[in-house]
Amino acid sequence: MLRLRIGFVLIAMVLSFFGARLVQLQGVDPRSYAAMAASEGAVRVPLLAERGDILDRNGIPLADSIKGKVVFADPSLTADKAPEIARLLSDRLSVDYFKTLTALRGRHDGSRYEYIARRVPSTLATDTVAELEELGYTGVGTDDDPIRDYPAGDVAANLIGYMGTDEPLGGFERTFDKQLAGTDGEATWQSSSSKSVRIPLRESTTKEPKDGAPLRTTIDRDLQWFTQKVLAQTVAQYKAASGSAVVLDTRTGETLALADVPTFDANHPADAKEEDLGSRAMSETYEPGSVEKVLTVSSLIDAGKAFPRQKFKVPPNLARQDRVIGDWWDHGPIRLTLAGIIAQSSNIGTVLAADAFTPPQLVDYLRKFGLGQRTDVGVRGETAGILTPGDQMTSQTKDRVAFGQSVSVNVLQMAAAVNAIANGGVRVAPSLISGRAVTDDGVVVGTDVATRTRVVSKEAARATAKMMEKVVDPEDGVAPRAQVPGYLVAGKTGTAQRVNPVTGLYDGSTSLSFGGFAPADDARFTVYVVIHAPQVDGGGGSVAGPVFSRIMGYVLGRYGVEPTNGKPSRLPVEW
């Protein structure tokens, strides 16, 4: 009996122990023990999100994703043969041997999933893994990993930017990365300890990836291509340092093309020079030269201080303080109207007309035109340019600013200013993004938030446009080569000295430009062209004017804009 009782007690103690353990496992802390059990043989596999496309205004991809593979390894299966596997992978995939060796041996404690290479062409990745398996090596596999592709190569690459292996490195790719990138998911499943294969009927979890959202731009891909082509031909013809061109929808401010030369192929950014991997039109400043005169003159007219037929006696030279102001051509005393000052691009005449303004008055107008401030269209590294505050500007500086020197701009900024005249005196903020988008820095941009600001009256803008028509007049103007057959064109030439960024002094080279709009009496498009440091003696009319003509003719035809059959300006240029 005693032995029997002792036996029952022992059995009761054992049952109590197992009962307590069961309560602990199922009732007290079941999740922690389940997690510990699951961690044995658990494989966590990232599920990669597909990056959103960057589209032109018509929905055509400027950047998209094509099929690719990520090559990964399970260190528990590759560690023993790591040197041999690493040698083959480095040869086939052009990856670093030593980094691959580390991954094959396991970079992280207990990890069953290590990256070897990302965004590998599908065929190359599949063939490489198959070759390893034929040689008897296991533990290397592939999974989907879309490759970023730029179907049009260098078209709009200055704006779109490009991708590195795991991160965006420029342009819209970087500015709108949060929108484009999406969110990766993850799958966790149980595998055998001997093979990296999923065990059926075991617990698994999946967090699906969220693909990135597309970004639609205002760019017209075909127009962008044509603009870049014409610009590149001109830069090469005149052996210029660089060039930029902008095409705006006059009424909406949408940027249909914004070209830079030199540029780069976004599929092969490593082949380009570092200074070409962005948009010079947005990041570099220059003095606009005589194109700025139309801003000065329209402001004077708006303020009631000038009018197109106003008469000026223009001397050969104009002494101001310790400087002498001259014109681009030698002449004796001449009599020009205000329209003639614009048609002939007289610095002296512009200064005489601008004497009606104090420095603060001129600066206030130029700021309304957008000078001295960024356009904030979503391009990283955009410069605001330089415009001296009115209360700090001397009369001597005001003289130079009035005809486009001692003030600096970026290309889109200046194009938007000219567009204000084309748009009846209303500056509509330029846009590069269609709809509404938020940059990674939190700036809201796009056509939905574009602002409209009255700069000068409709009458002042119209009077200025009529004077600008005389610029392309073959008898009275300096830029007949900027005409577009069949259309009334309003425009203005610009020739400005270039400042060396290191010395801060003029270096003897020039920036030649032409900005204008058509049809002049019912503007639909504004085109602005700048050619920097051409190796030729010429002006904005002879170098940039023909580029303007070709681009404007193309965009008018592409969008089916009919000639207005309006009558050309009959303003007198002399008296």
CA distances from 292 to 194, 288, 401, 539 (A): 75, 6, 8, 15
d(CA 286, CA 197): 62
Q: DSSP per residue over 288-324, as a string?
A: -GGGGHHHHHHHHHHTTS--TT-EEEE-SEEEETTEE
> How high is the pLDDT of residue 165?
73
> How high is the pLDDT of residue 545?
97
Using CB atoms within 10 Å of the CB of residue 571, give its burial: 0 to 12 exposed, 13 to 18 middle, 19+ buried. buried
Q: Which of 131-140, 155-164, 527-536 has the lowest mean pLDDT?
A: 131-140
> How high is the pLDDT of residue 7?
55
Q: Which of 103-117, 124-138, 325-339, 508-522 has the lowest mean pLDDT?
A: 103-117
> 194: pLDDT confidence band, cut at 50, 70 and 90?
very low
List, in sequence order, every residue forming a beta bridge with 286; answer none if it has no partner: 409
**For 380-386, what is the mean pLDDT?**
95
**For 462-479, what is the mean pLDDT?**
97
Read off the tokens for 510: 């020039």
Domains of the chain: 68-144 (3.30.70.2110), 221-558 (3.40.710.10)
**For 119-146, what is the mean pLDDT?**
88
**For 437-452, what is the mean pLDDT?**
97
d(CA 198, CA 443): 46
**Which of helix, strand or coil describes residue 184?**
coil
457-489 burial, b for 16+ CB within 10 Å, e for fewer?
Answer: beebbbbbbbbbbbbbbeebbbbbbbbbeebbb
Cβ proximity of 513 and 493 under 8 Å: yes
With residue 529 as reference, give the H or E element that holds it.
strand 525-532
Q: With a cut of 80, say whether residue 191 has pLDDT above it.
A: no
Using CB atoms within 10 Å of the CB of residue 3, give its burial: 0 to 12 exposed, 13 to 18 middle, 19+ buried. exposed
Q: Name the residue with higher pLDDT: 222 or 9.
A: 222
Q: What is the pTM of this model?
A: 0.86
Cβ proximity of 519 and 466 under 8 Å: no
Cβ proximity of 326 and 295 under 8 Å: no
pLDDT in tens, 73-113: 989 889 888 899 999 999 999 999 999 999 899 866 667 88
Q: Name the residue with higher pLDDT: 333 or 111.
A: 333
> How high is the pLDDT of residue 182?
87
> How high is the pLDDT of residue 21?
53
Strands 140-144 and 334-337: unpaired
Average per-residue pLDDT in the chain? 90
> How high is the pLDDT of residue 464?
98
Chain centroid to CA 288: 21
3-state SS, one letter per residue, for 341-400: HHHHCCHHHHHHHHCCCCHHHHHHHHHHCCCCCCCCCCCCCCCCCECCCHHHCCHHHHHH
Q: Which of 21-30, 145-154, 483-492 has the lowest mean pLDDT?
A: 21-30
* Residue 290 annotated as catalytic: yes
Cβ proximity of 102 and 72 under 8 Å: no
Read off the tokens for 245: 């061109």
Mark residue 446 as left, alpha or beta (left: phi above 0; alpha: psi -120 to 50; beta: remaining): left
**Which of helix, strand or coil describes residue 419?**
helix
Q: With a cut of 80, say whether residue 33 has pLDDT above it.
A: no
Q: With a cut of 80, say whether residue 166 has pLDDT above it.
A: no
pLDDT in tens, 297-331: 999 999 999 999 999 999 999 998 888 999 999 99
> How high is the pLDDT of residue 38?
44
pLDDT in tens, 209-263: 899 999 999 999 999 999 999 999 999 999 999 999 999 999 999 999 999 999 9
> How high is the pLDDT of residue 50?
87
pLDDT in tens, 523-552: 999 999 999 999 998 899 999 999 999 999
| Percent residues over pLDDT 70 in the chain | 89
Q: With a cut of 90, say whether residue 500 has pLDDT above it.
A: no
Q: With a cut of 90, say whether residue 369 has pLDDT above it.
A: yes
> How high is the pLDDT of residue 202?
47
Q: Which of 190-199, 471-480, 484-493, 533-542 has the lowest mean pLDDT?
A: 190-199
> How high is the pLDDT of residue 30?
47
Q: Name the residue with higher pLDDT: 285 or 28.
A: 285
Active site residue: 290, 406, 408, 513, which one? 290
Q: With a cut of 90, say whether residue 284 has pLDDT above it.
A: yes
